Amino acid sequence: MTEVLSAVFSVAFLTQVFRLMTPYYLGASGANFSERAGVINISIEGFMNLAAFSFAVFMIFTGSPATALALSLLSNLLFALLFASLTVSLKINQIVTGVGFNLLIAGLTKFLMVLLFSSSSNTPRIEGLPDIPFLKSVPLIGEVLSDTLTLFSILLVFVSGYLLFRTRFGLRLRSAGENPWAAETLGIKVRAYKYYGVLISSVLSALGGIWLVSEQHNYSDGMIAGRGYIALAAMIIGKWKPLNIFYACILFAGFEALEIALQISGADIPTQLIQMLPYLITIFVLVGFIGKTRPPAADGVPY
């Protein structure tokens, strides 16, 4: 137990928490943009999975992180356009469509992995995204801020808050999710803003998947491990507000880091219970500690 406590109360543990926060916040922030526009997007898990797989594949075949990143984001945008056309233009049930996309992408990635690499478990090793060299030497915070996507996630807290609540684009996006009928009478192209929300959602959640595969240095089946769903929970716990969502993601990242610390320490706790910890905490927080939440008024309502 002493070893666990010393590991938890350390700079290394805090660094790990902030790094593990990255995929949660990117996924949750993406979901927030979509729901602010009135589209429930539970396919965050699938978009993260697709981006992780496509980044690994493009990295293997091109050898260029920038090219792999661009092509991976493009792949996600194409799937997001399909998702938006089904849910916004054709008004198909958003929950059912989201579940369908998660299942479709899970099956597609496994099929392509077997086809391309003759393996159903993982791809060959790849190089991850490079760190920012001059920030790595900064004392205490260098390990966090030198990670490109972690730094982007921290900046995104402020950028998304400004974009949603201080700009004309944000006002119109939120009006599409609050009262699209009134917004339409003011000349706002509601469906276009719903598309924007879904597309932004796909890009941000894609970056979360890319961070995971970049850290692991290969894609493995099931590597997203429910992080997309936990990101949705963080968005709800954060009450659709960027800063609150960030705090919720830090909470979940803290418990994931604790899970890793307990496994390394060899504590006398059943392994299965340790692995369940982040998901149990998600359920407990959702059930008993978030109080009354109010989503955007027209969230999930076809228009």
pLDDT tens per residue, range 119-142: 888 899 999 898 888 777 777 677
Mean pLDDT of 141-156: 89
The whole-number pLDDT of residue 207 equals 97
In the chain, the largest separation of any two C-alpha atoms, in whole Å, equals: 64
Instruction: Assess contact for 249 and 21: CB atoms under 8 A.
Output: yes
Handedness of CA 120, 121, 126, 128 (dihedral sign): positive
Distance of CA 279 to the CA centre of its chain: 16
Instruction: Assess contact for 32 and 240: CB atoms under 8 A.
Output: yes
Mean pLDDT of 173-192: 95
Mean pLDDT of 94-108: 96
DSSP 269: S
| Structural domains present in the chain | 2-125+142-288 (1.10.3470)
**pTM assigned to the model:** 0.92
Instruction: Assess contact for 246 and 157: CB atoms under 8 A.
Output: yes
Q: Is 111 exposed, middle or buried (0-12, 13-18, 19+ CB in 10 A)?
A: exposed
Of the two residues 270 and 247, the one the predictor is more confident about is 247
In Å, what is the CA distance from 37 to each residue of 98, 171, 206, 208, 302?
16, 10, 19, 21, 11
pLDDT tens readout for residues 35-58: 999 999 999 999 999 999 999 999
